[in-house]
């Protein structure tokens, strides 16, 4: 009893003590905070690594858009996507498409000079040549070059039939442009002869260059058309197979790399 009276507040003092005044408690709290911070950083690193892996896998499967260079919309890499044995052929077809693009530009300039030379059909020729620069450039790439590119990459019959149909139309169009009928937007043979005979040398020279361009890309495409047809037959592609691919994959297969 005497001992209790001598230290009446011993228990109260113990209860009122601030645990944060204890150095060991402070150290434990600091360690816990550091561990939580490290765990948060580790989770963030894992999240970033997962995002990078997913991005790398997406690029591997779908490719990174790299074409056209000035405004990339699609992935185009003959070296990465076309089998090695077929790379020379697809490279030549791509070069022929570039010749076509250049020929369309020269044809437009030639038609401009035909108008300047005073041709009665100059306005029609110039307007049509401008339209060709946009429509033929886009449609030729999408309707015959890209299908045969996909055909050799995926070796599916549907793409070969797309190529044969639309490249066939393109070959007829090339003959039409080589002839150069006035008012059709072509600076081909007839237009070139008319310019030279009228003394319009610059227009005649430009028409000659355009005509040579039409001939080169036309003959080149006709040559490879035959080679691709032979490859298509040897590979055993049929219309039934193409119909089955269309039913299975649909139009979306055109835009995927798988």
Phi (first) and psi of residue 238, to 5 degrees: -135, 165
Tell me, yes or no, whether 211 lies in a domain: yes
H or E element at residue 231: helix 201-234
Based on the fold, state whether residues 99 and 148 are members of the same structural domain: yes
Segment 252-258 mean pLDDT: 68
Tell me, yes or no, whether 68 lies in a domain: no
Task: Note the pTM of the prediction, 2 decimals.
Answer: 0.76
Exposure b/e, 99-123, CB count within 10 A at least 16 = b:
bbbebbebbbbbbbbbbebebebbe
Based on the fold, state whether residues 219 and 97 are members of the same structural domain: yes
Give the tens place of pLDDT for each residue, 150-209: 999 999 999 999 999 999 999 999 999 999 999 999 999 999 999 999 999 999 999 999
Concatenated DSSP letters of 146-191: HHHHHHHHH--HHHHHHHHHHHHHHHHHHHHHHHT-TTTT--SHHH
For residue 84, give its domain range.
78-255
The count of structural domains within the chain is: 2
Based on the fold, state whether residues 243 and 212 are members of the same structural domain: yes
Based on the fold, state whether residues 97 and 208 are members of the same structural domain: yes
More confident residue, 31 or 178: 178
Tell me, yes or no, whether 94 lies in a domain: yes
Name the nearest CA neighbour of 222 among 159, 175, 158: 175
Q: Confidence class of residue 19 from pLDDT cuts 50, 70 and 90?
A: low
Based on the fold, state whether residues 92 and 207 are members of the same structural domain: yes
Based on the fold, state whether residues 187 and 227 are members of the same structural domain: yes
Q: How far is CA 83 from CA 36, 68, 152, 167, 245, in A?
A: 52, 22, 7, 22, 21
Based on the fold, state whether residues 45 and 101 are members of the same structural domain: no
Tell me, yes or no, whether 48 lies in a domain: yes
More confident residue, 128 or 47: 128
For the ranges 39-43, 68-72, 104-108, 112-116, the lowest mean pLDDT is seen at 39-43
């Amino acid at each position: 009893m005497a001992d209790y009276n001598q230290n009446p507040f011993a228990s109260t003092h113990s209860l009122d003590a601030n645990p944060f005044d204890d150095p060991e408690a402070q150290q434990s709290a600091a360690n816990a905070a550091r561990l939580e911070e490290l765990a948060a950083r580790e989770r963030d690193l894992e999240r970033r690594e997962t995002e990078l892996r997913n991005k790398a896998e997406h690029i591997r499967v779908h490719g990174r858009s790299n074409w056209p260079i000035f405004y990339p919309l699609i992935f185009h890499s003959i070296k990465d996507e076309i089998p090695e044995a077929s790379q020379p052929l697809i490279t030549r077809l791509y070069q022929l498409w570039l010749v076509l693009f250049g020929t369309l530009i020269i044809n437009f300039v030639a038609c401009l000079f035909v108008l300047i030379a005073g041709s009665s059909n100059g306005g029609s020729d110039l307007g049509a040549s401008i339209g060709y620069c946009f429509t033929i450039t886009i449609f030729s790439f999408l309707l015959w070059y890209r299908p045969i590119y996909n055909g050799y990459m995926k070796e599916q019959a549907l793409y070969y039939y797309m190529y044969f149909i639309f490249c066939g139309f393109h070959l007829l169009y090339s003959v039409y442009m080589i002839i150069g009928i006035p008012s059709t937007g072509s600076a081909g043979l007839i237009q070139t002869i008319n310019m030279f005979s009228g003394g319009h040398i610059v227009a005649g020279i430009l028409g000659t260059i355009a005509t040579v361009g039409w001939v080169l890309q036309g003959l080149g495409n006709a040559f490879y058309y035959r080679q691709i047809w032979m490859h298509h037959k040897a590979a055993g592609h049929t219309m039934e197979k193409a119909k089955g691919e269309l039913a299975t994959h649909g139009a979306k297969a055109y835009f995927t790399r798988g």
